[in-house]
Amino acid sequence: MTESSPGIIFIFDLETETISYVNHCVLELLGYHPDEVKDQGIEFFEEVVHPEDIERVKQHYRDFENIDENLGDRQLIELEYRMRHQDGSWRWFLSREVVFRRTEAGQAKDVLGINTDITARKQAELELEQLNETLEQRVSDRTQELEEAKQEAEEANASKSQFLNRVTHELRSPLNVILGFAQLLGRSENLNSQQQQHLNLILTNGQQLLRLINDLLDLGKIESNRMELHSDWFDLYHLMNSVEEMFQLETQRKALELSVEIDPGVPQQIKTDEQKLRQVLVNLITNAIKFTDTGGIKVRVNVESTSSSDTAQTQTLRFEVEDTGRGISPDELEDLFEAFVQGEAGRNSRQGTGLGLAIARYFVKIMGGDIGVDSTVGSGTTFDFTIPIDFPVEVVSSTQPDQQIIGLAPDSPQYRILIVDDLVDNRQLLRFMLTSLGFEICEAENGSDAITQFEQYQPQLILMDIQMPIMNGLEAIERIKTTPQGEATVILAISAYSLNDEQTETIHRYCDDIISKPIAQDILLDKIAQCLGVRYVYASEESTEFPEDNAEQRLRIVQELNQMSDEWRSQLYDAAIACDLQRVLQLLEEIPEERLQIKESLNQLANEYQYDAIAEFVNPDLSQS
């Protein structure tokens, strides 16, 4: 029976450490005659067992001596090892062994085992292991390649962002001067109609160039995942009016009608990201104007849904931009919002970058909304988007329309402002913007010079450019803010660059606000007023007048002024006749609070330089003599 076994059956004597029996299968599997193997001891194992396995085999038989008799003789012990064939090849065997006989003391004496050839299986396992190692290496190599490719892509993106920053800075700096001086010229009353038309063309094209630059900067932020949402309360009606005014020149030039319709149910004060909402509207209206030759553009705002809480309400607003333009074919609509993709009309116009709609969709998405389009070739296009917004429970009164600032309030203190910029044209622009209103200006051309000027002139406010040679603005800001006087000094950062997170953090830590180039004069003056409490004099569209036929109102004013002392009225009359604005305003401050309405009316007349009207109200008899 043992001779017909497919494996080598053997008995190993643990006392003598020799093979006491082996069947003929040993000849087939190892090339040894049984007589050559029988009575062989440990030295035989050392000869035929693989050097890497011999110690395990020896230990294996030593372990048999320690098998507890209580476990019985059926405990099967297995061991895999290699043995050399007579022809010199190595073969794998699985040895399954049990205790065959024990001594009278109960210790294991003989071990019975059977060795089965598992060379084919081990070879397959080895090949599989090698294959796994190969696959793992390939995966590792591929992962490394992908990591390197990712690193290269990130470095390329970083390089591209740096390049865009440099290029856009070089574009925005001269554009800042162009648009800035164009704004100042636009306030002049000495331009004829043709000069005004030329100036409008400069402003229109300058704004278009600025939009293209902003698109490139926004794309860089989107690709590097640096775009953030900044929600705050603002006046939606004011935003829509400013957007409508922005495109007046372009629509007039193309003889198009532009209208903005806001449903009465739309709240005036809302909370979302104002700048991103503005950019979406600007991009959509720009597209509409570009591809509309006749007719016009309608912008509509409606409430789509509403929900409430104790402190605020949430609505979904729907914005529509409808034009009567060329329309978009159905096969172009699917990819319309992809970056650098333009429809046939866009390609034929040879205008734009193909980024406006992609950026608009991204902004709408991060504001929590959705955007869509409906278009018919030859009939026009309607873009619509919805965004969730918060609005206060209490209704907020309407804001007053913007008025042109013509100077500082007469009783204002002397405000000193330090302008820091390495480009003389930029400094000159800011100087013209501010000195004409009554601010005192000093200048510095780099951060180091700014520190010196700050120590010497002690300005209340610093307009600090960020990117400058020798010492940049951020370093100068940090140094100034570490001084006792610097802690109380207002600093507005100015930059044409797209700032990184570290720069933004520094600005937020040390500065009161940041202004982007090109600088809009109304935004600059508004920031200054917020930071310093500056009061301005405005050019009213209509002068304050007290109608001649309103005798009752005029009589009431005269009667209330007659309650003041004769000396006071005489001094006010003399100051008005002398056109002494400062003295007039000083005297008006003496009017008691219970006559506040009269005081405000006379203050307004003074600020509009209507001295004759003041003199007449103070002493009508004297004014007629």
506-550 per-position pLDDT tens digit: 788 888 888 887 788 888 898 899 899 898 887 754 444 444 445
Asked if 335 and 445 sit in the same domain, the reply is no
- The β-bridge relationship of strands 370-376 and 380-392 is antiparallel
The enclosing H or E element of 505 equals helix 501-510
Tell me: do 351 and 479 sit in the same domain.
Answer: no
Domain shared by 408 and 363, yes or no: no
The span from the CA of 261 to the CA of 285, in Å, is: 14
Domain final position from 392, 422, 447: 392
C-alpha–C-alpha distance, residues 349 and 326, integer Å: 12
238/385 same-domain check: yes
| Residues 285/357, Cβ–Cβ less than 8 Å | no
Q: Are residues 356 and 281 part of one domain?
A: yes
Residue 129: inside a domain, yes or no?
no
Please tell me the distance from the alpha carbon of residue 58 to that of residue 14, in angstroms, as a whole number.
Answer: 11
The pLDDT confidence band at residue 591, using thresholds 50, 70 and 90, is confident
Cβ contacts of residue 330 below 8 Å, gap of 6+?
none
pLDDT in tens, 70-120: 555 567 888 999 999 999 999 999 999 888 888 877 788 888 999 999 999
Structure-token pair, residue 515: 């202004």
- Of all residues in the chain, the percent with pLDDT exceeding 90 is 26
Q: Which residues pair with 91 in a beta bridge?
A: 83
Amino acid 497: pLDDT: 64
Please give the tally of structural domains in the chain.
Answer: 4
Domain boundary among 357, 392, 427: 392
Quick: pLDDT tens for 106-164: 788 888 999 999 999 989 988 898 888 888 888 888 888 888 888 887 777 667 666 66
Task: Give residue 241's pLDDT band: very low, low, confident or very high (50, 70, 90).
Answer: confident
Same domain (yes/no): 239, 287 = yes
In a domain, 165, yes or no: no
Cβ-based burial of 573 (10 A; exposed 0-12, middle 13-18, buried ≥19): buried
**pLDDT tens-digit series, residues 451-505:** 999 999 999 999 999 888 889 899 999 999 989 888 889 999 988 766 666 777 7
In a domain, 137, yes or no: no
CATH number at residue 304: 3.30.565.10
Mean pLDDT of 316-322: 95
Integer Cα distance of 355 and 339 in angstroms? 5
Helix (H, G, I), strand (E, B), or coil: what is residue 1? coil
- Considering the domain architecture, whether residues 556 and 530 belong to the same structural domain is answered as no
pLDDT exceeds cutoff 70 at 271: yes
What pLDDT is attached to residue 419?
Answer: 95
Q: Is the pLDDT of residue 623 over 50?
A: no
Looking at the fold, whether 248 and 367 belong to one and the same domain comes out as yes
pLDDT tens digits along 34-64 = 999 999 988 888 899 999 999 988 888 887 7
Looking up residue 80, the CATH number of its domain turns out to be: 3.30.450.20
Q: If you average pLDDT over residues 600-612, what whole number do you get?
A: 70
258 with 369, same domain: the answer is yes
CATH number for position 475: 3.40.50.2300
Q: How far apart are CA 177 and CA 181, in angstroms?
A: 6
Which positions ≥6 away from 134 have C-beta within 8 Å?
none
- 145 Cβ contact list (under 8 Å, min separation 6): none
**Which neighbouring-strand residues pair with 318?**
302, 386
Query: Is the preceding omega at residue 174 within 30 degrees of 0, hence cis?
Result: no
Tokens representing 51 are 């050097």
Domain assignment of residue 192, yes or no: no
Between 605 and 439, name the one with better pLDDT. 439
Whether 188 is in a domain gets the answer: no
**Within-domain flag for 609:** yes
Q: Does any domain span residue 304?
A: yes
- Statement to judge: residues 95 and 237 lie in one domain: no
The answer to whether the beta carbons of residues 494 and 515 sit under 8 Å apart is yes
Rounded distance between C-alpha atoms, residue 433 and residue 442, angstroms: 13
Range of the domain at 323: 228-392
Task: Transcribe 109-157 into DSSP letters.
Answer: EEEEEEEEE-HHHHHHHHHHHHHHHHHHHHHHHHHHHHHHHHHHHHHHH
Maximum average pLDDT range among 22-36, 222-236, 562-576, 610-624: 22-36
Q: Of the candidates 208, 218, 214, 157, which has an alpha carbon nearest to the alpha carbon of residue 366?
A: 218
Do 456 and 479 fall into the same domain? yes
What's residue 234's pLDDT? Answer: 84
- The pLDDT value given to residue 556: 72
What tokens appear for 262 in the block? 């806001």
Residue 365 lies in a domain: yes
Inter-residue contact 403 to 540 (CB < 8 Å): yes
On whether both 338 and 263 belong to a single domain, the answer is yes
Q: Compute the half-sphere exposure of residue 308: CA atoms within 13 Å on the CB side of its CA.
A: 4
The lowest-confidence range among 195-204, 476-485, 602-611 is 602-611
Residue that is last in its domain, among 392, 418, 446: 392
Residue 624 has pLDDT above 60, yes or no: no
